[in-house]
Amino acid sequence: MKNFINIGVSVVMLGLILTSCNDDNDYQTVEAVEKVKIDSVKIINDTMDVFTVQSIKTYSVYQSNCEGFYGYDYIHDDNVTRSVTAYKYRTDGACQPSTKTFASQINFSPQQIGTYTFKFWNGGNTWITKTIVVE
């Protein structure tokens, strides 16, 4: 019985050693996160009901295959005004220039009736403004 336990422990230890020595460098590290301008916005319905959900799509241009969408900074300026800034990541991979436009989305679910104003960052002090009426 003691031999079975020793053999079992030896096999587990060998497996751990072989697994931990696996030098798999087939991944990329995020080097930076920075603002990316939102070039256009698509809102399907400019009027909607309270407590419903609507997807708002934003489109941004990325300059290489090492860039991608990271997330939004979604700020409630007041009860009915939202400022939205998009962020991209850049990795340390073998980057090739390739300009591509990608879509991302925000799901908007208003909790009160009103006219909501969305400001999407378009670079510098420029914003794309969209309005949604919630009934």
Q: What is the dihedral of CA 90, 91, 92, 93, to 10 degrees?
A: -120
* pLDDT for the residue 19: 53
Band the pLDDT of 4: cuts 50, 70, 90. Answer: very low
Q: Is the pLDDT of residue 44 over 90?
A: yes
Strand ranges of the sheet holding 40-43, from the earlier edge strand across to the other edge: 40-43, 54-64, 97-108
- 82 CA to centre of own chain: 18
Q: Choose the weakest-confidence range: 7-16, 90-99, 124-133.
A: 7-16
What are the tens digits of pLDDT across the range 45-103? 999 999 999 999 999 999 989 999 999 999 999 999 999 999 999 998 888 888 999 99
DSSP, residue by residue, the chain: -HHHHHHHHHHHHHHHHHHHT--------EEEEEEE---EEEES-SEE-TT--EEEEEEEEEEETTEEEEEEEEEESSSSEEEEEEEEEEESS---EEEEEEEEEEEE--SS-EEEEEEEE-STT-EEEEEEEE-
* pLDDT for the residue 104: 97
Band the pLDDT of 13: cuts 50, 70, 90. Answer: low
What domains are defined for the chain? Answer: 28-134 (2.60.40)
What are the tens digits of pLDDT across the range 103-126? 999 999 999 999 999 999 999 999
**pTM (global) more than 0.75:** yes
